[in-house]
Chains A and B, each alone.
Chain A
């Protein structure tokens, strides 16, 4: 549809892509295009050159290492991640999140890297990647640098990926012994606006040993709620204790309010999704008390 006139290139290698991105003003990588094309359609961004990286094989694989670490190429689609056996074996919750992004047509095209690099605060994958302690591998002509997911998402539509750089892959460490992950969203309808999301990774054995609780949609970027994490650590792995811990979430949040939900509601729901995700993580890890 109605894009402004834009040049298009399809490099053969990541190096070529990087060369194009760094040598052309206004160049931007195009992967699945599920957000970028809409952005162009609405003319809220002006791009001179689309560098299509979606067919670069080196970015399109999901690999598991002997130590259980998962490496997901940036151009792996949601559908591929959902159905990837290594991903499902190592991180079923991550595969499920990918499998619930919008609808099948979008999952066939949208990519993991695109979901992360757009850094829309309501996007599905960033909170779970932060919760799982993933590492984002950013490539430039000079090599690859590693950035923890926690630091990667900087704010509304901004990430640690700089000029002349490209997200190459995401490394997700294995769940620790006794660890589990959880994810929860309150949204409009089945596949529309997310109002608030939470993702969690919890290590428990009757008692919560460690917890990472990430909230999204309520701030410019997903973030760990260290207050709730602290409240969880050392408490019993029971629903009541999780509920109690979630109560520390509240006035510290300044979520947006809009036609879909008020800031008050999003704040309240942050507690709700936080405890749901934590409880799911405890259940998945088999660490609940009793």
Chain B
């Protein structure tokens, strides 16, 4: 036992690699990628150089909403070293169609082009792009493009933007509503009537932030007139989606639009959103007859690369029984998509993968409105759309506990999905695969020594100027989307299911090569794919070469390929396993043929096929390869025709098409959980928050590589803490972004992050080939845990924590809200028991 009462088995330790064949998955083997990355031999997009390339720089709007009255590029063109300038109007003329819209009408009528045409809709909207000999000249020339704007009133508030009299961003839509619908499962009216207590929460607000990856967006795009192909070297993390959106716009067939990437310096979802720029660069390259290279500046990134979703929850009502059982809730959610719909409005359904969070809530109604505002378009950001909802649920639980006098731990445990409930079907038809939430919570509380802190909290009393709060964040990281949920947004969309492809082959001298459909950004796909293949083919991971990165002309893929949405361990490694097993069958068949044995007698290990109980009869993999590649006359014609030692496999999860009417269906395959607990100390006179203790308990099913899991847990935790305390994108009334550089946007660093105690449970998923669940995004648990802890530290008369972003000033105002008599933002109505 550790001092905190955690048994040693539950604490993650780096596993010592063993040499035992067939056991590589589950070990923290050294990462293959590290050697090149730490020696500066990685290849990021900015490292790519093409003959005759020019450098691109975008001209961006300084205003949030304005008509473009004139655009003059003559001064820019006159600058020595400028190749060309592409304007929005020219780009539109070169395009076949505007970008495909996911939204149904009327928002489906939005016309978005690679560059803004006629008007700009946010601070940072690109109106032109320059190509020049150097980056410096391109930037200078961009400054010489003269644009006259006629300012229009800006709208930055998501709730007000839905008003009929709000300034409209896209005239053809007629309003700023991107999507609107009611999710109604169970019978919330009945629940509210029959609850002993109804807790009403006026307003909760989840703020905008992003993951600010170390590497900003980048691309080198060449519209090659010789082959009439468009080659895109980029760090876009979902290239097939990008291809499907921009291909029709550019009028380029997907077999001539070639995406490739090697190393990517973090993406977190944000790098799904670089497709408009890539489309503009393709047109720029076409116009200039040169490759166009673009490496985004940080300020450009912050202004325009995409920010996380901001959401407001109004008029929430929670139905609670005397014993603390929560029947359900209703709320009105407004989600701010920004100026254009990039991947949106999918966020308007993706939250419902976790509609009841960790809890057995049966009655739920959410009136959901997604709006357009004069702000940077949102883009999926780590925990996309679910973390906003999970934060809302965790605030709801803590507020109910506080108002009705329940212990927040006991209230959670009472309402959690219990270990015996799995597979657990939620009110909207999602199926939670496995887990042990109460035990995870106990482990997290033990890690921080919660009892000890409760005593400290009591002993501290008043007058010390300090307050201690203990907080919990209970989250699910839903992984492996069923893309059929898009039909809940737009029934016309012909999407459903999911999948990933992999290709495993035995090469000329018996070497094993793997390539993937994914675009890893630090998730160690080369390492983990090698582990899986090594187990199937009876070799060591170092005998398996996994091609670094993705190249559409070499790698295999499906439309869902890419690296996003917590799914590689399930889909990517599922595909790798399937392909390796197909190859194994061929190797064994060939081995049996060569050794004149039955396939059942063949053992594949240590790089050779051996006849069981007769080790003298053996053929190494080089011999197997020889037969197929350079000695095929020894085979029968039928075998020659069938066996190639090249195996492709597409993993597909067992999904059905969801019901768009009822808005139900199995929307995701796996549900990893993260239960976080933390202790904060608030300074009463300044509102400064110090994290005194922090623990994260992760359950992502069977882990392929525990250390890589732990690294992602640390990353997600740090990001969440940063978002809770420091990181925010805020716009003033005129739509000016207030934090457009790291001077003003304080991304969390190691100086801010506390020591994070980590433990894990492995509840294998019964739905996946390897028991693994997607992970990596996390459900934003630190936001929930820190808000919960701040709430815990506040007095009974103080306002509730209603913002996800809590600066020192905001906390200071909360600490003194009771003294000032501020509205608490919450009311309770209790049913008269005599009724």
A residues whose Cβ falls under 8 Å from a Cβ of B: 2, 103, 186, 188-193, 195, 258-262, 265, 268-269, 272
Contacts and interface: CB of A to CB of B under 8 A. Distances in A.
Contacts of B424: none
Contacts of A268: 812
Nearest to B687: A265
B807 A188 contact: yes
A189 B718 CA distance: 13
Nearest to B739: A259
A265 B810 CA distance: 10
Contact of A189 (B730, B738, B739, B746): B746
B812 A265 contact: yes
B725 interface: yes
Interface stretch (B321-329, B535-543, B748-756): B748-756
Contacts of A195: 808
A269 B748 contact: no
A193 B744 contact: yes
B467 to A, nearest CB: 16
B746 A2 contact: no
B748 A186 contact: no
A244 to B, nearest CB: 14
Given A260-B807, A262-B809, 11 more contacts: A2-B135, A103-B749, A186-B686, A188-B746, A189-B746, A192-B746, A259-B739, A261-B808, A265-B809, A268-B812, A272-B686
Interface string B168-191: 000000000000000000000000
Nearest to B684: A272
Most chain B CB atoms below 10 A, which of A258, A259, A261, A265: A259
Interface string B804-835: 00011100100000000000000000000000
Interface in B46-80: none
Contacts of B407: none
Given A2-B135, A186-B686, A189-B725, A261 B751 contact: no
A192 B808 CA distance: 13
Contacts of A191: 749, 751
Interface of B: 135-136, 139, 685-686, 688, 725-726, 730, 738-739, 743-744, 746, 748-749, 751-752, 807-809, 812
Nearest to A100: B751
A245 to B, nearest CB: 15
A262 B687 CA distance: 13
Contact of B751 (A103, A186, A265): A103
Contacts of A261: 807-809
A228 to B, nearest CB: 16
Contacts of A262: 809
Contacts of B751: 103, 189-191
A259 B730 contact: yes
A260 B738 CA distance: 9
Contacts of B136: 2
Q: Helix, strand, loop or mixed for chain A's interface?
A: loop
Contacts of B135: 2
A121 to B, nearest CB: 14
A261 B807 CA distance: 8
A277 B478 CA distance: 49
B726 A188 contact: yes
Contacts, number: 48
Nearest to A262: B809
Given A190-B752, A265-B812, A259 B746 contact: no
Contacts of A193: 743-744, 746
B688 A189 contact: no
B808 A186 contact: yes
15 contacts: A186-B686, A188-B726, A188-B746, A188-B808, A189-B725, A189-B726, A189-B746, A191-B751, A192-B726, A192-B746, A193-B746, A259-B738, A259-B739, A260-B744, A265-B808
A170 to B, nearest CB: 26
A189 B688 CA distance: 9
A2 B139 contact: yes
Contacts of A188: 726, 746, 807-808
A58 B812 CA distance: 48
A14 B135 CA distance: 36
Contacts of A272: 685-686
A192 B746 CA distance: 6
A263 to B, nearest CB: 11
A195 B687 CA distance: 13
A186 B685 CA distance: 11
Contacts of B812: 265, 268
A163 B748 CA distance: 40
A59 to B, nearest CB: 28
B809 A189 contact: no
Contacts of A265: 808-809, 812
Closest 3 A/B residue pairs (Cβ): A190-B751, A259-B738, A192-B746
A258 B136 CA distance: 32
A268 B688 CA distance: 13
A188 B752 CA distance: 10
A271 to B, nearest CB: 8
B725 A259 contact: no
Nearest to B813: A265
A135 B768 CA distance: 72
Contacts of B748: 189
A262 B749 CA distance: 25
Contacts of A186: 686, 688, 808
Nearest to A191: B751
Contacts of B744: 193, 259-260
Contacts of A258: 738
Nearest to B138: A2
A175 B685 CA distance: 30
A182 to B, nearest CB: 16
A186 to B, nearest CB: 5
Nearest to B746: A192
Nearest to A188: B746
Contacts of B686: 186, 269, 272
B79 to A, nearest CB: 13
A190 B807 CA distance: 13
Contacts of B809: 261-262, 265
A186 B808 CA distance: 9
B307 to A, nearest CB: 15
Most B CB atoms within 10 A — which of A2, A195, A262?
A: A2
A212 to B, nearest CB: 22
A272 B812 CA distance: 12
A186 B809 CA distance: 10
A103 B809 CA distance: 24
A36 B730 CA distance: 27
Contacts of B746: 188-189, 192-193
A280 to B, nearest CB: 15
Nearest to A192: B746
Contacts of A269: 686
Contacts of B739: 259
A55 B752 CA distance: 33
Q: Which of B135, B743, B751, B752 has the most CB of A within 10 A?
A: B751
